[in-house]
């Protein structure tokens, strides 16, 4: 009875509306997507019933993970999200985040492979259930390659134009993400390392999208009151902040779980070595902050450390509150915290070229601005801009 209720709930969740014509979406038609999702539910339910008949019911937690993961898939791949994703890059990026950091970990926690194999005809089933004992680094590298490849402008534009390629895009992003999460959750604390480094390179891709001075893709032209560049900046923030935060949070949770298990297994005198083993991972997590500095240097050609030292020489601290700069608590100008994630600077898009020009010649960029000309050299301007781009 419980299996039937689960199946009915999944069907109602995955089919929130009628599968009508493919209007506005660039992916497969909603009817095809809905049919694939329903087929997955039917196969999964069949496998559950067979396992129950053999006296091997699954834990409730895995049922819940499968249910919520299926709901996240439906939300990402069906209208209205899928239709809006064909118009706005920011919604398309939210769709990718739903697939890779919401649906994927839930499906990985559900461990559906045994259920799906139980649904297969007896002659098709392997004698042993395939595991995930391949090196986790392969899953990490495969997902990273898929993520960056599908966001290269030429390939992205092709996927936006051809529904079949778009379906392959979503399938590879989801499939490699499930593989990564499955591997990570089976290998603590190494899994924390793979998730954290995924957060680093995912955030870097989001930062590049956010801070790019011009649109990357030709298939999106803005909408809903957003210009093409503003839509791209919002898309980059979606990948940069929510996706990076979820990945980092899961990595820290895996690490904390491993530490608790190590402490329970070891006697009191043996507990310090477990913490010592975790210190390299914690150090790597803290060192991830250097990613912001390297990204800022690549964008501006400047040195963030020299930029922080240069700002007091030009009196920046008298007008602005600047994190990390001693005595910089001025209230005349706007605070400069989180400048790297702002969409606009001095009335224009936040790009490295504009920010450097604004620092060096504010009166040329915006005549009658209260910000004075301070005679900032080109080298110092690049260094100061580099430091400001580390302020997230």
Identify whether the C-beta of residue 280 lies closer than 8 Å to the C-beta of residue 362. Answer: no
Contact 257, 188 (CB under 8 A): yes
User: How far apart, in Å, do the first and last CA atoms of the chain sit?
Assistant: 51
Is the confidence at residue 173, as pLDDT, over 80?
Answer: yes
Cβ 333 vs Cβ 316: under 8 Å? no
Confidence of residue 234 (pLDDT cuts 50, 70, 90): very high
* Least confident among 27-31, 35-39, 92-96, 169-173: 27-31
Query: Mean pLDDT, to the nearest integer, of 375-379?
Result: 91
What mean pLDDT, rounded, does the chain reach? 80
What are the tokens at 212? 């790019």
Is the per-residue pLDDT at 206 higher than 60?
Answer: yes
Sequential DSSP letters for 335-385 = P-TTGGG-SEETTEE--HHHHHHHHH-HHHHSTT-SSPP----HHHHHHHH
302: phi > 0 → left, psi -120 to 50 → alpha, else beta; which?
beta
The pLDDT, as a whole number, for residue 134 is 59
- Residue, of 264 and 110, whose pLDDT is higher: 110
Angle at 43 between CA 37 and CA 49, to 5 degrees: 135
Tell me the β-bridge partners of 345.
348
* CATH, domain range 299-388: 1.10.760.10
| C-alpha distances out from residue 173 to 74, 255, 372, Å | 15, 25, 49
Q: What are 44-99's pLDDT values in tens digits?
A: 778 778 777 777 777 788 888 888 998 998 999 988 988 898 899 999 999 999 99
As a whole number, mean pLDDT of residues 12-20 equals 35
- What would the DSSP string read from start to end of 20-83? ----S-SSS-HHHHHHHHHHHHHHHHHHHHHHHHTT-PPPHHHHHHHHHHHHHHHHHHSTTHHH
Global pTM exceeds 0.85: no
Beta strands, E only, the chain:
344-345, 348-349
For residue 101, give the DSSP letter.
Answer: I
| pLDDT, tens digit (0-9, with 9 covering 90-100), for 285-319 | 444 445 677 788 878 888 998 989 998 888 888 88
> In angstroms, how far is CA 240 from the centroid of its own chain?
6
Q: Peptide bond preceding 189: is omega within 30 degrees of 0, i.e. cis?
A: yes
Domain ranges of the chain: 2-288, 299-388
């Amino acid at each position: 009875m419980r299996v039937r209720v689960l199946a009915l709930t999944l069907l109602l969740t995955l089919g929130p509306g009628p599968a009508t014509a493919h209007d506005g979406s660039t992916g497969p038609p909603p009817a095809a997507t809905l049919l694939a999702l329903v087929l997955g539910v039917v196969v999964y339910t069949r496998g559950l019933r067979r396992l129950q008949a053999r006296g091997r019911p699954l834990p409730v937690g895995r049922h819940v993970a499968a249910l919520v993961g299926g709901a996240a898939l439906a939300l990402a791949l069906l209208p209205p999200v899928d239709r809006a994703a064909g118009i706005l890059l920011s919604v398309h990026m939210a769709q990718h985040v739903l697939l890779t950091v919401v649906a994927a970990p839930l499906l990985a926690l559900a461990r559906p492979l045994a259920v799906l194999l139980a649904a297969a005809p007896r002659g098709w089933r392997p004698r042993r259930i395939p595991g995930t004992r391949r090196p986790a680094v392969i899953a990490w590298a495969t997902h990273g390659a898929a993520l960056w490849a599908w966001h290269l402008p030429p390939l992205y534009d092709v996927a936006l134009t051809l529904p079949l390629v778009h379906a392959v895009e979503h399938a590879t992003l989801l499939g490699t993400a499930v593989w990564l999460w499955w591997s990570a959750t089976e290998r603590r604390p190494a899994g924390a390392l793979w998730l954290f480094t995924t957060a680093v390179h995912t955030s870097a891709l989001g930062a590049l999208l956010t801070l790019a001075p011009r649109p990357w893709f030709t298939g999106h032209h803005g909408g809903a009151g957003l210009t093409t560049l503003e839509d791209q900046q919002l898309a980059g923030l979606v990948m940069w902040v929510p996706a990076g935060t979820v990945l980092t949070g899961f990595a820290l949770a895996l690490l904390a779980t491993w530490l608790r298990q190590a402490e329970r297994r070891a006697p009191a005198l043996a507990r310090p070595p477990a913490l010592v083993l975790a210190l390299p991972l914690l150090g790597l997590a803290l060192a991830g902050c250097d990613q912001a500095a390297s990204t800022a240097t690549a964008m501006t050609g400047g040195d963030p450390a020299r930029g922080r030292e240069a700002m007091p020489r030009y009196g920046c601290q008298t007008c602005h509150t600047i994190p990390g700069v001693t005595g910089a608590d001025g209230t005349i100008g706007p605070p400069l915290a989180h400048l790297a994630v702002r969409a606009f600077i001095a009335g224009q898009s936040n790009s490295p070229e504009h920010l450097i020009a604004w620092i060096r010649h504010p009166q040329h960029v915006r005549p009658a601005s209260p910000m004075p000309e301070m005679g900032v050299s080109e080298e110092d301007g690049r260094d100061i801009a580099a430091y400001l781009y580390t302020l997230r």
